[in-house]
Amino acid sequence: MPKDKGFVVRHERGRTYPAMVCETCGEIITDYRMAGVVWNRDYKDGERSKVTVLCKTNGCLTKEPYAHFPWQEMRHFALWLLYNSGVKTEAELVKDWKEGDWMADI
């Protein structure tokens, strides 16, 4: 499992939690402002494209082959994902965040 990269579930000190691992250098990303998501620029309408998680810390977003791919900062990608999954308002996000407080006890 140590080679797993991208979106993963980590198991440490009796806790289980989602995490992100840079798909180029393997760094565990702990600050969502220091990560980006890139996708294939050659997709056609109606197709799906795999996303690749990369860190900014080691310059992985600017290295080939990803240097010229379309990308979004992780914090924006996460909000975009939530919006496209049905969370349409700030009130819905706050409600879901509060309901998710149980996660702190896992």
Do 35 and 44 meet the contact criterion of CB atoms below 8 Å apart?
no
- Give which of 23, 29, 32 is closest to 3, Cα–Cα: 23
In this prediction the pTM is: 0.79
Looking at residue 30, its pLDDT comes to 86
Looking at residue 69, its pLDDT comes to 93
Looking at residue 104, its pLDDT comes to 58
Q: What residues does each domain of the chain span? A: 6-105
Looking at residue 13, its pLDDT comes to 87
**Non-local CB neighbours of 26 within 8 Å, separated by 6+ positions:** 3, 5
pLDDT tens sequence for the chain (106 residues): 457 899 898 888 888 888 899 999 999 998 889 999 999 888 888 888 889 999 998 999 999 999 999 999 999 999 999 899 998 998 998 888 888 766 555 5
Beta bridge partners, 38, equal 52, 71
Looking at residue 24, its pLDDT comes to 94
For residues 69-93, one letter each, b for 16 or more C-beta atoms within 10 angstroms of the residue's C-beta and e for the rest, the string is: bebbbbeebeeeeeeeeebeeeeee
- Give which of 38, 90, 89 is closest to 60, Cα–Cα: 38
